[in-house]
Amino acid sequence: MDGHPTKFLRARIRHALFTVVPDRITGGRLRARHLSQPIELTKIAISQKGWPRAFDGLKIAHLSDFHFGHLATSDRIREAVTTANATRPDLVALTGDLVDLHANDSDLLFAELAQLHAPLGIYMVLGNHDHLHAPRQVVRAAMDSGVTVLMNATAEIVRGEERLVVGGLDWSNRIALDAARLRDLPVAPHLLLAHNPKAFASAIERGIPITLSGHTHGGQIARRTRPQHNLAFSHRFSSGLYEREGSRLIVTRGVGAWFPLRVHCPPEVVLLEVHTLAE
């Protein structure tokens, strides 16, 4: 196992206390109710400075936090894939926590995610849960299915004489580490994938136009009239679109969950449409 044995053990205990035991007490109704919540499609359109003109109108399907396992079955992943494909995206971004605990079923997960259709490719970063058990197994399954995994790396998409640079940061909960990793990239990306929205602070400093993140699940429990008031109180950016100093951050509530309860905070797939704003 190439993950983190101690963190993996703590996660298994937390999973048992907050998911398995309550679900057994309710005779499986808690899990069934959770999985019956439909996945919402959230559409966001922005005009962004620094976005390459050749990629004006680019459509990005942003999916995150599947937590494949007890609370996210193959059927659930298939539902998210169908929702994303219906938008006919140009590019798909997967921003981490693909698995919940064990990486053993990564092949099953990516067999479903391989059905995503995007002519410019599918790009992925790892989240903290992906590192718990066997991150190399998750990466291998992703790459075998045709997904481009960005671990503190960039990829370029060329149209004519212009290029779109997609960057990805590996999991981190330290702003200083994010900043150092961004400095080490050969070029600042136009589109940055980072599981933790804390990376936005460093993206602002580098003048990166757009950052996509997950991790927070939107708090999973939020106020109906004020969704920004939620259980992700330790995060400045918990759900939706943010703008700081000309840079944009989109944090998705994600598809899955780590405990079987979402209140006023439904699972989602985000479709982001980016237009070039004249300088």
Counted domains in the chain: 1
Q: Chain-wide mean pLDDT for the chain?
A: 96
Looking at residues 74-85, what average pLDDT do you find?
Answer: 98
Range(s) of the domain holding residue 51: 5-276
Q: Are the CB atoms for 268 and 255 separated by under 8 Å?
A: yes
Cα 67 from Cα 11, distance rounded (Å): 12
Q: CATH code at 202?
A: 3.60.21.10
* Number of residues that this document lists for the chain: 279
On the 0-12 / 13-18 / 19+ scale of CB atoms within 10 A, 3 is buried
Tens-digit pLDDT profile for residues 170-190: 999 999 999 999 999 999 999
- pLDDT category of residue 102 using cuts at 50, 70 and 90: very high
What residues have CB less than 8 Å from 178, skipping those under 6 apart?
169, 172, 194, 196, 198, 199, 201, 202
Percent above pLDDT 90 for the chain: 92
